[in-house]
Structure 1
Amino acid sequence: MSTFEEIRPTASTALDAKGPKKPRNMGQVIRWWILFIGGILMIMPIVYMISTSLKWPHEVYNVNLIPDEPTIENYTFVLEDGRFYGWFINSLIIAVLTTISNLFFDSLVGYTLCKFKFPGRTLVFIAILSTLMIPTEMLVIPWYLMSQSLGWLDTYWGIMFPGMMTAFGVFLMKQFFESVPDDFIEAARIDGLNEFQIWWTVAMPLVRPALAALAIFVFLGNWTAFLWPLIVTNSVEMYTLPVGLSGFGDEADVQWELIMTGAAISTIPTLIVFLVFQRFIIRGVVMAGLKG
């Protein structure tokens, strides 16, 4: 009994040292609940997509998220369809090449607009940004006529050329190049480097977060593009994944279970890329906003 009485004051003293728990701020609780509900709403389409991909055709319109009789037959059918691999390769080639093109040209233009002083520099930058206000639907006809005149219809070049350089990429890279000290540029010129070498060896390594963020944005955008590839391609062999998957059905019978299965498979590369590089995306967006 004496031992308990000796320990008890010590325990109470420790609790008193920590102090009483602070009540949670009601505003913080509300914010957390809003974020939680928003997160649930964001992932519901993905959950529904996976659920539908595991259903038999007669269960597709069943609102239950858990299929009554789950099946992987849809995955087997899609993966055994040789066209799917062709569409996957087409999307991969287009997304990768377009991303490389954007990294090169957007960073080069952004560096030029940031580090070179010449008459009309601001006007050129405003003109580039103004293209962001033009809806894509207004550009498809000029793009199509250009592709037709150059013989690019139903080719990789025809699909890629509208997105090989973007105004958003130029803006993002210009904002990041402003963080590169001019003293580094001048020191490199004194050392005898030409302007291209300065851009490549001095400036580019200092804006790697922006390059990573731009690469993710461009890759995801071209991986999921639908409207322009649908217009410019004629043969099934040149379809990208979004266009090809839309072919799993017609006006009379849309095979939603197969479309959802193909969509679920096609999201795997994008999820991997996002999970690996998400820190670069967040840092790129935040820093671009701060510099703007």
Structure 2
Amino acid sequence: MKNSIRGSIKKSLLYIVLFLGVLITFFPFFYMFVLATRSRAEIFSSTQTLWFGDHFINNLQILRDSVPIFRNLFNSIFVATIGTAFTMFFCALGGYGFAKYDFKWKDKLFFAMLATMMIPGLLSIIPWFIMMNYFGWMDTFYPFIIPGIANAFGIFLMRQFMESIPGDIIDAARIDGCGEFEIFCRIILPISKTGLSALGILTFLGSWNALMGPLLILQSEEMWTLPVALTRLADSAGVDYGATMVGASIAVVPIIVVFVIGSKKFMAGMLEGATKG
């Protein structure tokens, strides 16, 4: 009886701690949505409430007058979606090669690739900018899609996942007359959906939140992504925090939706990738 009561108390305390953790995590997002519905005067008022106001439409209009926000939203969706699709395919291709093929210097090449993950991204920002300018890719989306489609982390994650795929399946497909690329597309990719989901979510979030690169490359308003547009909003809107919170809300909602939809496969893929190899 005492053990049962003690277990119930521990479980209740655990639920209370988890609830407080969730509350602390989500409160800033809730308050951001609340501020998006307030006027500038209400935001700086001495009497604050934690409920929604009625100035959302006005704030949205100020935002639209300041920057082409829906064009910027489309740009972010386009860059993140196309970049994620290419990254998933090519990283899966690289991971499959390292996991299932034997070739000269395989291990050395793999560890050399992993070593690039130790280099801080900021150290390569100047050479990257010079290369993009040399290629004529300034004020285009190419720099945010093409250079990262076969990144070290993605190849490593997919390699760890694909090592668990039985080689007998691949051998049976070869006996049936399937070519190597056909095996990859028709057999390996469907089996690897869990790992691809985890890689896809991480890539999408990283691309969606990217600021430094787009800030350097994108010069015209029509080409800005959402993070760049929000940095320009403070100057053009006179730091109208209501409009700024509307823009931040627009930027946050898609990544919340993407994570909620793919959260189960994301966790399963990360756990499988971490325990293989």
Displacement of 1:169 in angstroms is 1.1
- 1:22 is paired with a residue of what secondary structure? helix
Identify the residue that residue 5 of structure 2 maps to in structure 1.
Answer: 23
Q: Cα 1:133–1:90, aligned 2, differ >3 Å: closer, same or farther?
A: same
Deviations 1:228-275 (A, max 9, x none): 101111111111011012211129942222121111122222222222
Identify the residue that residue 82 of structure 2 maps to in structure 1.
Answer: 97
What is the total number of aligned residue pairs between the two structures? 274
- 1:154 is paired with a residue of what secondary structure? coil
Any stretches of 5+ residues in structure 1 without a counterpart?
1-18
Q: Confirm or deny that 1:47 pairs with 2:42.
A: no
Does the aligned pair in 1 maintain the 2:161–2:192 contact within 8 Å? yes
Displacement of 1:28 in angstroms is 4.2
Displacement of 1:161 in angstroms is 3.0
- 1:139 is paired with a residue of what secondary structure? helix
Does the aligned pair in 2 maintain the 1:59–1:67 contact within 8 Å? no
Displacement of 1:62 in angstroms is 5.0
Does the aligned pair in 2 maintain the 1:246–1:259 contact within 8 Å? no
Q: Confirm or deny that 1:109 pairs with 2:97.
A: no
Does the aligned pair in 1 maintain the 2:197–2:265 contact within 8 Å? yes
Does the aligned pair in 2 maintain the 1:55–1:67 contact within 8 Å? no
Structure 1 residue identity aligned to 2:5: P
Identify the residue that residue 191 of structure 1 maps to in structure 2.
Answer: 176
Displacement of 1:76 in angstroms is 3.9
Identify the residue that residue 160 of structure 2 maps to in structure 1.
Answer: 175
The two structures have a TM-score, normalised by structure 2, of: 0.90
Displacement of 1:48 in angstroms is 2.2
Does the aligned pair in 1 maintain the 2:66–2:237 contact within 8 Å? no
Kindly report which structure 2 residues correspond to 1:1-292, keeping only aligned pairs within 5 A, or say none.
22-25=4-7, 27-62=10-45, 64=48, 66=50, 69-72=53-56, 73-78=58-63, 83-250=68-235, 253-292=238-277
CA RMSD of aligned residues (A): 2.4
Which range is displaced more, 147-156 or 183-192?
183-192
- 1:54 is paired with a residue of what secondary structure? coil
- 1:23 is paired with a residue of what secondary structure? helix
Q: Cα 1:96–1:68, aligned 2, differ >3 Å: closer, same or farther?
A: closer
Identify the residue that residue 5 of structure 1 maps to in structure 2.
Answer: none
Q: Which has the higher contact order (CA 8 A, sep 6+)?
A: 2
- 1:66 is paired with a residue of what secondary structure? coil
Displacement of 1:29 in angstroms is 4.4
**Identity across the alignment (%):** 34
Structure 1 residue identity aligned to 2:35: T
Structure 1 residue identity aligned to 2:86: S
Which range is displaced more, 255-264 or 25-34?
25-34
- 2:258 is paired with a residue of what secondary structure? helix
Displacement of 1:287 in angstroms is 1.2
Structure 2 residue identity aligned to 1:281: F
| Separation of aligned partners in 2, 1:101 and 1:203 | 16
| Separation of aligned partners in 1, 2:253 and 2:235 | 26
Q: Cα 1:131–1:263, aligned 2, differ >3 Å: closer, same or farther?
A: same
| Separation of aligned partners in 1, 2:227 and 2:22 | 25
The two structures have a TM-score, normalised by structure 1, of: 0.85
Q: Cα 1:28–1:289, aligned 2, differ >3 Å: closer, same or farther?
A: farther
Any stretches of 5+ residues in structure 2 without a counterpart?
none
| Separation of aligned partners in 1, 2:62 and 2:84 | 31
